[in-house]
A and B are shown apart, each in its own frame.
Chain A
Amino acid sequence: MKRIVIATLALVAAAGAYAQYSGSYTFGGSTTVAPIAYAAIERFQKENPGLKISYEAVGSGGGLKALLAGQISLSGSSADFSADQLKGAVATPIALDGLSVIVNKKGTGIKNISMEDLARIYHGDVTNWKQLGGANAPIVVVNRDESSGTYAAFWELVCQKPFGKAIAYTKNAIVTKENGEVAVKVLATPGAIGYVGMAFAQEVIKAGGLELSIDKVMPTTANVVAKKYPISRYLYIVTKSQPVEGTVEKAFIDYILSPMGQAIVKSADYIPLPKK
């Protein structure tokens, strides 16, 4: 009996997956979710040739506003909206976004840093490791370029609380284009500090770098999932109501949650959802 139920379920799921969708849809929202959305939309459209979806990267707040106003039918969000803000809309987690702080072992002399000190480094208020109880050496700040999503995410998660919403990183920082370049610069420069996507930090550790714990919490997937590690957040897809079976929105969410979709999440440098 059980087997039949499973087989039936599998069939239904398969039928669902192969159902063809068509029409024009507008999604929108978070710029952080955009790389996932763009890649998923591209694949999803290939499987459904009659379908046209656009994703407007207007930010999480703008996306929710447009969703509630009925201008779009699905929005991406990197903000953890409260029930009040959602006004009945439903947020489905689709991925995790976590950043690791890495330093060069030479010329730093610390293994843990508080969120506050980290923010002060990137705001330019602390310029020597001695001020944080480390080595007497200048801090070489490695940042990402202005248009990177990680650049905005790091400000939002680390610096926004003490220094406000408008990004005001210290300008006296090495600007790099990719996670890989951050790693290379940090590994080659004594006293250097940088941040990379969590998935990338393992490469840095293998190459001799050091991953800092933040307020004594190590950046592990488990700590991120338990919401203990502070430089992390969930990414969501928000729909106006509980997604309804048979709609494009539901199929799209299912697609992102499928192994295929989670692979897209990973290749966009985010953390796939933990397997339950």
Chain B
Amino acid sequence: MRRRKILEGAVEATLFAAALLSVVTVVFITAFLFQRGSPLFEKVPVLEFLFSSRWEPTAENPGYGILSFILGSFLVTGLALLIAVPAGLAVGIYLAELSDGRSARFIRSAVELLAGIPSVVYGLFGIAVISAVSRTLFGGSGYGALSAAMILAIMTLPTIISVTEVSLRAIPRELKEGSLALGATHWQTITRVLVPAARSGILAGVILGMGRAIGETMAVLMVGGNAPIMPSGLNGMVRTLTMNIITDMSYATGDHLTSLFATGMVLFAFILVLNLVVQLALKKSISDLEGKSGE
């Protein structure tokens, strides 16, 4: 009996240590990033770093302005969501409500496969197919914001689809049954009852996808054009925060290197905000459901 208690205690301690490890890792990464990045602001004012678009780190009079990369990240991510959200919602609703078992299984495994494709493969696909498609449809060189957004849209689809489906399925049965019993059609039930009830969960999925899109590097690097300029339109070339870090990392030294860590800090801040929003949305979605089923 005692032995069992000791064993249980040991297992508990091990698991706790493992859990602690991830916390410690996050703390270390954050501390390291800020320790390496913040010295930049002794030389370059924060406002200039964030709101200047002059990025010439190796010039005689170096410029460290990342505004065009911040806007590039937002532009590409925004466009990607514009494509991915309607498509993802549609597929999620289809899977949760309209499909029969067989087609759902088939689509679900295809979506899972989509989620498992390495981003560099998406990039290759982008160079071979998407940049050509974008060049034919929208002109330009084919390397730009639109191509990057198309790739990111495909990459964020799995997240949005599965979270939408799960959120819809999590809605208490009574809600759907009640709506149908009141004489609403299936479609009315979906648009007026189910989707609104699942909105917080769906929102969380969209924001999770957004997090993936804003942090994605390899695929956008291969089709974005990577010119360090203000994005000049949908088919204009774009460089995002992640692309900026990876492009200069291999050679950068001194302040230039520090500025890349500072770019990382900005990216980190964006992701942090997105994560907080996701958690709030999920909390709300849970309390919504509890509130509704309790009524």
Residues on A lying within 8 angstroms of B by beta carbon are 138, 140, 145-148, 166-167, 171-177, 184-185, 188-192
Contacts and interface: CB of A to CB of B under 8 A. Distances in A.
A146 B227 contact: no
Contacts of B250: 147, 177
B247 to A, nearest CB: 5
A185 B237 CA distance: 13
B191 interface: no
Contact of B131 (A166, A175, A189): A189
Contacts of B193: none
A146 B225 contact: no
B60 interface: yes
Nearest to B144: A174
B78 interface: no
Nearest to A174: B225
B227 A172 contact: yes
Interface in B245-279: 246-248, 250-252, 256
Interface string B131-147: 11001000001110000
B65 interface: no
Give the 4 A-B CB pairs with smallest separation, nearest first. A147-B251, A175-B226, A140-B141, A171-B229
Interface of B: 56-60, 127-128, 131-132, 135, 141-143, 221, 225-229, 237, 239, 246-248, 250-252, 256
Contacts of A177: 221, 246-247, 250
A166 to B, nearest CB: 7
B253 to A, nearest CB: 9
A145 B250 CA distance: 10
A69 to B, nearest CB: 23
Contacts of A146: 56-58, 228, 248
16 contacts: A140-B141, A145-B251, A146-B228, A147-B248, A147-B251, A166-B59, A166-B60, A172-B237, A173-B227, A174-B225, A174-B237, A177-B250, A185-B127, A188-B127, A188-B131, A190-B135
Contacts of B225: 174-175
A64 B141 CA distance: 43
B125 to A, nearest CB: 12
Contact of B228 (A171, A190, A191, A192): A171
Given A146-B57, A175-B247, A177-B247, 10 more contacts: A140-B143, A146-B58, A172-B227, A172-B229, A172-B237, A174-B225, A174-B237, A175-B225, A185-B143, A188-B142
B242 to A, nearest CB: 13
A184 B127 contact: yes
B266 to A, nearest CB: 20
Nearest to A184: B127
B245 to A, nearest CB: 12
B141 A174 contact: yes
A174 B60 contact: no
Contacts of B256: 147
A136 B252 CA distance: 39
Contacts of A176: 226
Contacts of B227: 171-175
Interface centre among A167, A175, A185 (most CB of B within 10 A): A175
Interface centre among A148, A167, A189, A192 (most CB of B within 10 A): A189
Contacts of B135: 189-190
Interface centre among B141, B226, B229 (most CB of A within 10 A): B141
A171 B229 CA distance: 7
Contacts of A147: 58, 248, 250-252, 256
Given A146-B57, A188-B131, A174 B229 contact: no
B228 A175 contact: yes
Contacts of A166: 59-60
Nearest to B58: A146
Nearest to B131: A188
A34 to B, nearest CB: 11
Contacts of B229: 171-172
